[in-house]
Amino acid sequence: MRFFLRWRATVGSDLTAREKLVKARAALVLDEPFFGALVLRLVPVEDSSCQTMWTDGASLGFNPAFVLSLSPAALKGCLCHEVLHCALSHHARRGARDPGRWNMAADYAVNPLIKDKFTLPDDVLLSPDFAGLAADEIYSRLPDESRPPDEGASDDDEAGAVDSEDGGAGRDDDEGNEGPGGSSGGDDAGSGDDSDGAGDDEGGSSGGSGGEDEDGGGAASGPGSGDPGGCGEVRDVPASDGSGGEAAESDLSRAEADWKVAISQAAQVARSMGKLPAGFDRLVDEIISPRVDWRAVLRRFFQASARSDYSWGRPNRRFIHAGIYLPSCRNLELGPVVVGVDASGSISPGSLNAGCGEVSVICEDFRAEVYAVYFDAVVQGVDHFNPEDLPFEMRPRGGGGTDFRPLFEWAEREGVSPSCVIVFTDLLGTFPEVPPPFPVLWVVEGEAFCEVPFGEVLEIRGE
């Protein structure tokens, strides 16, 4: 009998990393069917080039040394951490944002959801300042020293790594963090965004997720983005054509939709077994039927207005190993942004401050100059802000009836060619007869009661 026990102990200690991972997944299936059903969707890919673990929504990359260093409980916690990145669509919503900083924000959003139920590795990213916030909002609130020195990180950009030592927002205790019930699943009311794969695939990876770069980074997330949270990184949805390039918008939408279906099915199974974790009912409902986050819509509008082009300045790293030099696709700085403020009293100070504050953060990320144009029946004043002047504050002037034509005539007269125009108004005014040659977003407080002849309408509320 003693020999048998010694033999069992020896076998347990000699588990390979893959066997240990499979064993942890099986334990989740039995004990936590919600997470177990979801983690089975991810194909394990051994990847010694990554620091810890990663997922792109299809694959689960893991460093064998990291897996072997974890206790069984901590390994289960890391698996749940990675699954929640996919459930909250973090792999589909990065866009032009820096991958390292995006990973930090995503970790701050995910860890409070599971810290009370699962064991996590030491020193993971937790902060009461970010409890209940979406990854998008956390990203905008991270301290300035964690911002990348360049403009937006691109698909093959080497810049964008954010080390945990200088990431700005510190690693805190669990104090003050809310559990699952206190977090907002609206976190992740979708904003579509960009991709990364990794490492040496042993054959289990989905197409396009494996990167061949010596740094272990894949395509869009950028080599060296690493894992500033130390618990497993999230990478971008791989392109469906297997090219390793940036995923198309259809790929991102499909990835989000597939995970919503999987979450619904996993929740049904867990409920039928009486094992859906406390507080996750609300989270599941908000993931499946999210409330539209106007901030995410606003950021998507800016991203769609940003120019991107191919550049030989930094060759595409994915093909250099084969001796092939191709240009990389880079997101360029956003051109001038015109913010029109209807000064007729049609939008409350609360909504104006909330909307303009978010515009300011986004323009700061894109390094864009801003023209704030205050108008009623005529243009009453203009403030010009360079990227170094951001964030900006609005100083509305005027107060008569509303006519939108002077706003667009001002841009043409002054020779300003905006990448986009944002107009804060109640839509009660005279519109130009001819649509302008640039995108226009009409920002309305509450519900819009009339249609616009051109552009998009975004409804927001004051805070």
Calpha distance 331→305 (Å, rounded):
11
Please calculate the CA angle 234-158-70 and round it to the nearest 5 degrees.
35
Residue 290: band (very low, low, confident or very high) from pLDDT cuts 50, 70, 90: low
Q: Which residues contact 383 (CB under 8 A, 6 or more apart)?
A: 371, 372, 374, 392, 395
Residue 422: band (very low, low, confident or very high) from pLDDT cuts 50, 70, 90: very high
Burial state string for 338-353 with b = 16 or more CB within 10 A and e = fewer than 16: bbbbbbbebbeeebbe
Given this model, what pLDDT does residue 431 score?
95
Cα–Cα distances in Å, from 369 out to 69, 115, 159, 297, 332?
Answer: 48, 41, 23, 20, 13
Q: What is the largest CA-CA distance in the chain?
A: 93
Average pLDDT over every residue of 87-112: 89
Highest averaged pLDDT of the listed ranges 20-34, 122-136, 217-231, 270-284: 20-34
Average pLDDT over every residue of 378-406: 84
Given this model, what pLDDT does residue 321 score?
55
Given this model, what pLDDT does residue 207 score?
36
Calpha distance 104→80 (Å, rounded):
17
The secondary structure element, H or E, covering residue 219 is none
- Dihedral sign, Cα of residue 202, residue 207, residue 209, residue 213: positive
Grouping H, G, I as helix, E, B as strand and the rest as coil, residue 358 is helix
Average pLDDT over every residue of 419-429: 91
Q: How many CA atoms lie within 13 A of 190 on its CB side?
A: 17
Please tell me which residue, 334 or 33, carries the higher pLDDT value.
33
Ranges of each domain in the chain = 12-291, 337-460
Judged by average pLDDT, the poorest of 17-31, 48-62, 77-91, 210-224 is 210-224
Q: Is the pLDDT of residue 54 over 70?
A: yes
Given this model, what pLDDT does residue 333 score?
63
- Homologous superfamily (CATH) of 337-460 is von Willebrand factor, type A domain (3.40.50.410)
Given this model, what pLDDT does residue 270 score?
87
- Count of helix runs (H) and strand runs (E) in the chain: 12, 12
Q: What is the mean pLDDT of the chain?
A: 75
Q: Which residues contact 334 (CB under 8 A, 6 or more apart)?
A: 302, 305, 306, 307, 363, 366, 367, 368, 419, 420
Q: Is the pLDDT of residue 93 over 70?
A: yes
Q: Is the pLDDT of residue 147 over 50?
A: no
Average pLDDT over every residue of 423-450: 89
Please tell me which residue, 308 or 102, carries the higher pLDDT value.
102
Please tell me which residue, 370 or 295, carries the higher pLDDT value.
370
Please tell me which residue, 231 or 394, carries the higher pLDDT value.
231
- In this prediction, what percent of the chain has a pLDDT beyond 70? 71
Given this model, what pLDDT does residue 294 score?
74
Average pLDDT over every residue of 231-255: 83
Please tell me which residue, 34 or 361, carries the higher pLDDT value.
34
What is this structure's pTM?
0.51
